[in-house]
Amino acid sequence: MIKPQNRLDTQTLRYLDGEVDRDTYEQIKTTTHAESAELQGQLRDLNVQDRIPVGTLMPDLLWDWDELSVGVRRDLLSRLLHPVIGEGGRDG
């Protein structure tokens, strides 16, 4: 979802600088919003599953990791790891 947003940000700047006409900008904006909505739908579908095998995660996840917000990283890690619930202290 980062890449569509980055693409839209770039096109917005190009539109504001007069490099892209309004019709082209609106078309790109519509396409990008549709792509983003589709990706969000796929993400919702993944949320329904109990566990996601590591091999089915986005192949570029490691490459994009530094670009993801802390909240997104935390969410992804929580899907891979089950919560660890410990008792108080070493003696239980």
Q: What is the mean pLDDT of each run of 10 residues along the chain (92 residues)?
A: 79 89 90 85 68 59 80 80 68 54
Domain co-membership, 29 together with 61: no
Domain co-membership, 5 together with 19: yes
Nearest CA to 80 among 59, 57, 52, 49?
Answer: 52
90, part of any domain: no
In this prediction, residue 61 carries a pLDDT of 72
Domain co-membership, 57 together with 33: no
**CB-facing half-sphere around the CA of 84: CA atoms within 13 A:** 5
27, part of any domain: yes
17, part of any domain: yes
Residue ranges making up the domain that contains 60: 52-82
How many separate domains does the chain show?
Answer: 2
In this prediction, residue 55 carries a pLDDT of 58
Cα 67 to Cα 14: distance, rounded to the nearest angstrom: 22
15, part of any domain: yes
In this prediction, residue 84 carries a pLDDT of 65
Domain co-membership, 57 together with 21: no
